[in-house]
Chains A and B, each alone.
Chain A
Amino acid sequence: GEDVEQSLFLSVREGDSSVINCTYTDSSSTYLYWYKQEPGAGLQLLTYIFSNMDMKQDQRLTVLLNKKDKHLSLRIADTQTGDSAIYFCAESIRVNTGFQKLVFGTGTRLLVSP
């Protein structure tokens, strides 16, 4: 299957940490990604993690990968109002032609209140 699942909504206060969770289905996914979509805009790559890694840190962002449970999370430290957006988890899966394609989750809408 190609389902990538996320919770739909998360609300936090400014300065708190946010944790967005994702479960994916393809155990052979080589890369897993987090994209951010601001209102009226397309998606922008935030960060990614290679499947042989457990964790990746990039400034305020921490990505954790549990391959056994096919679980990916994105932690945003010191969340700011500017972080309010929709966050998409995505996995790369192999198609029959030998190419890879990105399958996106449903997106989690993060709302940061002052």
Chain B
Amino acid sequence: DAGVIQSPRHEVTEMGQEVTLRCKPISGHDYLFWYRQTMMRGLELLIYFNNNVPIDDSGMPEDRFSAKMPNASFSTLKIQPSEPRDSAVYFCASSLGTYTEAFFGQGTRLTVV
């Protein structure tokens, strides 16, 4: 397996635009996580899914953020409208279970200008 695949690797967008980040988890993993990493706040869990169902979205900062997992092999994180303070590295991770190793993608570096 190629691991967790995220796209794009880098995204630069203007304030107010919609941004969609994509993730393909490792095949067979039941859990998918979205994290955001910034210098100020470190690594924050935004939302996670089990068997494509959102379990805990308490980390999603605002209604501008939404995440979907239409099937076991694909998830999106959408920000609409984007703001400069959303600039961060967004990681997707997947695991077989919540106690087992979480495998991280390489991240999407988002810059909102």
Residues of A participating in the B interface, judged by any CB pair closer than 8 Å? 30-31, 40-45, 48, 88, 92, 95, 97, 99-107
Contacts and interface: CB of A to CB of B under 8 A. Distances in A.
Contact of B104 (A43, A101, A105): A43
Contact of B98 (A48, A99, A105): A99
Contacts of A43: 43, 91, 93, 102, 104
Chain B interface size range: 20 to 34
B42 A99 contact: no
B106 interface: yes
Contact of B42 (A41, A92, A106): A106
B56 A101 contact: yes
Contacts of B48: 101
B91 A92 contact: no
Contacts of A101: 33, 45, 48, 56, 98
Contacts of B33: 101-102
A73 to B, nearest CB: 19
